[in-house]
Amino acid sequence: MSTDASPTPAVDGASAVPGTPDPALLEELVAANRILSDHGVLDAYGHISARDPVSSRHYWISRSMAPALVGAADIIACDLDNNPVRPGETRLFFERVIHGEIYQARPDVMAVLHNHSPSLIPFCNSDTRLRPMVGSAAFLGEGAPVFDIRTVDDEGDLNICNVAQAKGMAQALGQHGLVLLRGHGAVAVGDSIRQVVRRAIIAESNAKQQMQAALLGPVHFLTESEIEYAKRQKPKDPDRAWRLWKQRAIGGNV
Amino acid sequence: MSTDASPTPAVDGASAVPGTPDPALLEELVAANRILSDHGVLDAYGHISARDPVSSRHYWISRSMAPALVGAADIIACDLDNNPVRPGETRLFFERVIHGEIYQARPDVMAVLHNHSPSLIPFCNSDTRLRPMVGSAAFLGEGAPVFDIRTVDDEGDLNICNVAQAKGMAQALGQHGLVLLRGHGAVAVGDSIRQVVRRAIIAESNAKQQMQAALLGPVHFLTESEIEYAKRQKPKDPDRAWRLWKQRAIGGNV
Amino acid sequence: MSTDASPTPAVDGASAVPGTPDPALLEELVAANRILSDHGVLDAYGHISARDPVSSRHYWISRSMAPALVGAADIIACDLDNNPVRPGETRLFFERVIHGEIYQARPDVMAVLHNHSPSLIPFCNSDTRLRPMVGSAAFLGEGAPVFDIRTVDDEGDLNICNVAQAKGMAQALGQHGLVLLRGHGAVAVGDSIRQVVRRAIIAESNAKQQMQAALLGPVHFLTESEIEYAKRQKPKDPDRAWRLWKQRAIGGNV
Amino acid sequence: MSTDASPTPAVDGASAVPGTPDPALLEELVAANRILSDHGVLDAYGHISARDPVSSRHYWISRSMAPALVGAADIIACDLDNNPVRPGETRLFFERVIHGEIYQARPDVMAVLHNHSPSLIPFCNSDTRLRPMVGSAAFLGEGAPVFDIRTVDDEGDLNICNVAQAKGMAQALGQHGLVLLRGHGAVAVGDSIRQVVRRAIIAESNAKQQMQAALLGPVHFLTESEIEYAKRQKPKDPDRAWRLWKQRAIGGNV
């Protein structure tokens, strides 16, 4: 990853550099930024990206700005070393290394979100694991892993700024759908923009409900059999929620 | 219940097939969908139905869509085997079997709601029962029952998709006004659309208050005498809340 | 108190029957209804009244309706036996006996509110008393009293519908500013409409903060000396909050 | 500090009396008032000030009013003895002594906020200290100090009204970024208006998350090394949040 001051054009033998961006993909990413802001899953910080559907070694992400304000013209392409394709780009998220490293480690992943969802923070700083309360949260499995940056280095920075830290985070993520970051936030992944948006919104509500349930005594989570079943299933009507969320966040007919 | 792909017209000897829908009933169902969405009792998922007032073996429910977006034209009739009256309907809720089985088991029930109300989920996954904090929640009785789908089958699916599962749920509901579904949500019933809406909104606030009360030490719930008294009474002015809720959800004069 | 169906005109030798209502008083009561609704301290139920400033044996209250929808034309006069001054009024709150009994028992009280403020309900059903966290809540004293209607009768009705119940409630209130009602809600009193609105809003936030504080361990409340000091003081700028709340609830310049 | 009734013009040999106010500074203060109100960090009470960038012995603050309603014309200059520069000003915050004493004790401080942020109150009345959950809250250090006004006098007033009380508070603040006030609220300081706004918003969310985390068992806070690292760093893009918050609070392009 080059520094923000002197970005280097991507040189990538394995796949073509993306040319004209796909308007539908950009619109989907804009909607994702707005929906996640509307749900309070993103605030002024955090970022969502999508792997280019043709050139698998590139991804699309907004310039450094508040997600609620992102428009299609703010979205740029980076290679998997997190260098912008177009020379001269400077307003870049310094934690974008999260995205490149996950796309390298997880060929199945088509979208990545880094955020600081309010109800997830308590689980980042606890020995109690975030576990699924309902079927739609089954992607949390036996409990979301927590990445402790001190396993990579102990300089005191909690942000994921370099390749070693991002590799450590990707290793903690493993084959899970979401990894919590101690003292920091979370990273969610999915096979599409819509899946990662859905996972982030469900993780937030599940976390809140799990904390409330702790007030009532021991909590019964999904069984192993229920987790396995849900993972095998496709959601029956995944676009139903997307349409509602998009209308609420953006308005108009969708 | 036929599959979504090839619906079968209802053949129902016991009652007439509903012809032209009653505009007032449809308007009431639309309002219920909007009010429950406005209160956060319904989100993108869940559904409310009303038994046909003339043809007791039919009920009205929206096509599969987010409740907040439902209009009168989206509401269709099904028989108590959950087959749509009009041939060719395909966009149906796969969990509509909940409605037909309850209307069969409970002749007194005129409206059914299935939802995933956020403050109810902790009680779905706890040994602590949801109990009435105030008189308007007396329909919760000595505690809402919890249906565990594993009492029917243990394949790992938490959704209520077939007749056996729905019969199990209806049995757990018994003569109660609301049944919780482990790892899933809730089903509320009533003698009218307005009563079921009222019950769902009160259940949500009661659940939140019961969890908060647990922070303060032992909780004193309604006494048996108070529960019995409240069940015998009609609410003094049930339409007062409905008018307010409808104005907030839809606007205009009501 | 006559029944709703056949109201009796007030015959009150001790003070003149109020004639033309004071427009400023009505406007203040309308604002109070809107402000309390806007804060979630009132929902579809509950009512606020003001003693007539000239005829001390009469009070003003809206007809039975959702507080958020009250306008000046909806406000009527009742005597302290809770009979409407104008013959033929029928849409009356059945719990208005609360108001008359308090005005009789507490000559200092100029405004009365009955509500079901969400964060107060847990304290209605707990042995933990609601106590002041900050100076503005000092009116809660050493802890708000809780009225248990079973001390009057044990028929199972939690509502305050007759004089005996209201007298019991007024006795529990004593010289306090607020009394909680077991399994029901609260009644707040004050020397003006603005004071009772202020107390109800502060009671709600104080209750929420006290429950949260319980999560952190033992809670330190105001000392006896601080409670006494605050009771002796007038609020420095009581209209500052009123102006803000009114603008938010009603809009326009205030 | 003169009384509100007879303000005295400032006589300050050490620095020039500010003449024409800086429009950019006033706009920044107006935005801060609106943003903090929009976040619920300020309600009808509380106040934010900024030290004059040229005349270090003067600061700017609104007249006594709800922060949400403040405009540029409502902002006046005071000297560090809290006397208004312009003779005849009477609508002043009686707790403005907080500002003058901090500017005297802390030459590094350029902005001061006094508020009653809802999630901070529980920590004001607890032995559990408010500690950083995430890197952006590292300014809370090993735990925010709590000022108990009884260490100065025990007359029962919780407000900070005189120099002795304000000096006690400033001593408790020490070199911290925020001090809690027992039974009252908080005071936050910063090297700019934007930093103090940022700290107040983060303190509120951190407090809420710390209370929720307590539900899950022992809480892991930032390590000493992480606190020290964060204190050495400048935030990477501090204006990103400001732009978003300002647009939400005020609207228009920012």
Tens-place pLDDT, residues B92-123: 999 999 999 999 999 999 999 999 999 999 99
For chain A, percent of residues with pLDDT exceeding 90: 84
Q: List, as one string, the DSSP characters of D116-133.
A: --GGGHHHHTBSSPP--S
**pLDDT grade, residue D8 (50/70/90)?**
very low
Task: Report the neighbours of A using a cutoff of 3 or more CB pairs below 8 angstroms.
Answer: B, D
Residues 3-42 (A) with a CB less than 8 A from some CB of D? none
Inter-chain residue contact B222 with C154, CB threshold 8 Å: no
Cα–Cα distance measured from residue B217 to residue D233, given in angstroms and rounded to the nearest whole number: 44
pLDDT digits (tens, 9 = 90+) for C145-188: 999 999 999 889 999 999 999 999 999 999 999 999 999 999 99
Averaged confidence pLDDT in chain D: 92
Task: Show Cβ contacts of residue D17 under 8 Å, excluding neighbours closer than 6 positions.
Answer: D10, D55, D58, D77, D79, D85
Q: Does residue D154 surpass a pLDDT of 90?
A: no
Check residue A235 and give its pLDDT. 74
Averaged confidence pLDDT in chain A: 92
* D232 min Cα distance to partner chain C (Å): 30
**pLDDT grade, residue A4 (50/70/90)?**
very low
Check residue C126 and give its pLDDT. 98
**pLDDT grade, residue C90 (50/70/90)?**
confident
Q: Count Cβ atoms within 10 A of the Cβ of residue D162 and give its class: 0-12 exposed, 13-18 middle, 19 or more buried.
A: middle
- Residues in chain C with CB shorter than 8 Å from the CB of D159 are 135
- Residues in chain B with CB shorter than 8 Å from the CB of A222 are 158, 183
Query: Which one from D28, D95, D101, D204 is the annotated catalytic residue?
Result: D95
Specify the residue for token string 């529960």: B227
Both tokens of residue A20?
């004209």
Which residue of chain D comes nearest to C137, CA vs CA? D183
Catalytic residues of B: 95
Which residue of chain C comes nearest to D130, CA vs CA? C216
Cβ pair A91, A157 in contact under 8 A: no
Cα separations in angstroms, C68 against A145, B248, C38, C163, D244: 47, 10, 8, 28, 32
Q: Does A220 touch chain B (CB under 8 A)?
A: yes
Arithmetic mean of pLDDT, D83-111: 95
pLDDT digits (tens, 9 = 90+) for A84-122: 999 899 899 999 999 999 999 999 999 999 999 999 999
Tell me the angle at which helices D193-214 and D238-250 cross, rounded to the nearest 10 degrees: 90
Check residue B12 and give its pLDDT. 42
SS3 at position D236: coil
Amino acid at residue number A78: C
Q: Does residue D9 surpass a pLDDT of 50?
A: no
Both tokens of residue C64?
């039975």
Check residue D252 and give its pLDDT. 62
φ, ψ of residue D22 to 5 degrees: the values are -80, 115
DSSP assigned state of A40 = T
Q: Does residue D52 surpass a pLDDT of 70?
A: yes
Neighbours of A12 (CB within 10 A): 16
Check residue A18 and give its pLDDT. 73
Cα–Cα distance measured from residue A210 to residue A180, given in angstroms and rounded to the nearest whole number: 15
Inter-chain residue contact A228 with B156, CB threshold 8 Å: yes
Task: Residue A100: name the closest of A165, A184, A19 by CA.
Answer: A165
Q: Considering only residues A148 and A11, tell me which one the structure prediction assigns the higher pLDDT.
A: A148
* CA torsion through residues B97, B101, B107, B113, sign: negative
Query: Which one from A27, A28, A89, A95 is the annotated catalytic residue?
Result: A95
Task: Show Cβ contacts of residue B229 under 8 Å, excluding neighbours closer than 6 positions.
Answer: B138, C155, C156, C157
* CA torsion through residues A9, A10, A16, A17, sign: negative
Task: Show Cβ contacts of residue B73 under 8 Å, excluding neighbours closer than 6 positions.
Answer: none
- Residues in chain C with CB shorter than 8 Å from the CB of D68 are 244
D128, D156, D182: residue with CB nearest C228: D156
Q: List, as one string, the DSSP characters of A168-181.
A: HHHHHHTT-SEEEE
Which residue of chain A comes nearest to B126, CA vs CA? A219
Specify the residue for token string 């003001």: C50
* C44 min Cα distance to partner chain D (Å): 25
Residues 222-251 (B) with a CB less than 8 A from some CB of A? none
Cα–Cα distance measured from residue C124 to residue C179, given in angstroms and rounded to the nearest whole number: 9
Cα–Cα distance measured from residue C61 to residue C110, given in angstroms and rounded to the nearest whole number: 12
Beta strands C75-79 and C111-115 are: unpaired
**pLDDT grade, residue C1 (50/70/90)?**
very low
For chain A, percent of residues with pLDDT exceeding 70: 92
* D145 min Cα distance to partner chain A (Å): 21
Query: How many secondary structure helices (H) and strands (E) does chain B include?
Result: 7, 7
Arithmetic mean of pLDDT, B228-248: 89
